[in-house]
Amino acid sequence: MKTFAELNFPGRLIAVEGLDGSGKSTQIYLLKRWLEAEGVKVYFSEWNSSELVKSATSKGKKRELLTPTTFSLIHATDFADRYERHLLPLLRAGYVVLCDRYVFTAFARDVTRGCPPEWVRGIYNFAAQPDLTFFFKADLEVSLNRILEGRPKLKFFEAGMDLRLSNDPYESFRIFQGRILEQYMAMSHKFNFIVVDANQHVEKQQSIVRRIVSERINLTQFRRRSPLPLPPTILPVAPPDNKAKEAEEDMAA
**pTM score of the predicted model:** 0.85
Report the pLDDT value the prediction gives residue 144, as an integer from 0 to 100: 85
- Residues 6 or more apart whose Cβ sits within 8 Å of residue 221: 94
Count Cα atoms within 13 angstroms, Cβ side, for 252.
24
Question: What amino acid occupies position 70?
Answer: T
Instruction: Provide the phi-psi class of 23: left if phi over 0, else alpha when psi is between -120 and 50, else beta.
Output: left
Task: Report CA torsion sign: 107, 110, 112, 118.
Answer: negative
What's the full length of the chain, in residues? Answer: 253
* Cα 7 to Cα 46: distance, rounded to the nearest angstrom: 23
Report the pLDDT value the prediction gives residue 230, as an integer from 0 to 100: 52
CB 160 within 8 A of CB 219: no
Angle between helices 54-62 and 68-82 in degrees, nearest 10 = 160
Report the pLDDT value the prediction gives residue 63, as an integer from 0 to 100: 65
Report the pLDDT value the prediction gives residue 34, as an integer from 0 to 100: 98
Computed over its alpha carbons, how large is the radius of gyration of the chain?
A: 18
Report the pLDDT value the prediction gives residue 35, as an integer from 0 to 100: 98
Report the pLDDT value the prediction gives residue 248, as an integer from 0 to 100: 42
CATH code at 12-224+232-246? 3.40.50.300
Mean pLDDT per 10-residue interval, the chain, length 253 residues: 97 96 96 97 91 70 74 91 96 98 97 96 97 96 84 82 91 93 96 97 97 97 73 49 46 46
Report the pLDDT value the prediction gives residue 235, as an integer from 0 to 100: 52
Nearest to 20 by CA among 236, 170, 191, 211: 170
